[in-house]
């Protein structure tokens, strides 16, 4: 027995289980629709990286760098749309940069560190 709107939810679940790429494609679409257009360079980086937001009315509230164990390595609150972050204390590896913006949006980028 379906409750109100239940059939639509079941149809959605059927799509997911019948076609697992449905989830991947949906996730990719959300990542493509970035609001702030964040640039991080160089990547791979050695001692530092630069960040730049190409959307004029967007400001970075917080940048958090996590290793792949989910441990927070560096947290900065620049409140600006460009700058430089020192990563000389971090070991070689792959990190995630989680950036929170003043409009409430968030972006996640991959950073490779090679010294």
Alpha helices in 1-115 (DSSP H): 6-18, 21-32
Task: Answer yes or no: is pLDDT of 16 > 90.
Answer: no
Identify the DSSP state of 74.
E
Q: What percent of the chain has pLDDT over 70?
A: 69
Question: Tell me: the pLDDT tens digits for 36-76?
Answer: 688 999 999 999 999 999 887 889 999 999 998 889 999 99
Between 3.30.470.160, 3.40.50.720, 2.60.40.1930, 1.10.760.10, what CATH number should domain 38-113 receive?
A: 2.60.40.1930
Q: For residue 19, what pLDDT is reported?
A: 57
- Distance between CA atoms of residues 57 and 59, nearest Å: 7
Give the Å distances, CA to CA, from 110 to 43, 45, 93, 96.
Answer: 9, 11, 10, 5
Mean pLDDT (whole number) for 99-110: 90
Is there a contact between 37 and 54 (Cβ–Cβ < 8 Å)?
Answer: yes
């Amino acid at each position: 027995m379906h409750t109100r709107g239940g059939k639509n939810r079941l149809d959605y679940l059927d799509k997911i289980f019948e076609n697992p790429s449905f989830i991947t494609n949906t996730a990719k679409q959300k990542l493509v629709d970035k609001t702030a257009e964040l640039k991080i360079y160089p990547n791979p980086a050695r001692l530092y990286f630069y960040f730049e937001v190409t959307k004029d009315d967007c400001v970075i509230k917080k940048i958090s760098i996590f290793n792949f164990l989910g441990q927070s390595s560096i947290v900065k609150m620049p409140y600006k749309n460009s700058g430089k972050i020192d990563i000389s204390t971090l070991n070689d590896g792959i990190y995630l940069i989680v950036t929170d913006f003043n409009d409430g949006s968030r972006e996640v980028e991959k950073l490779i560190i090679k010294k």
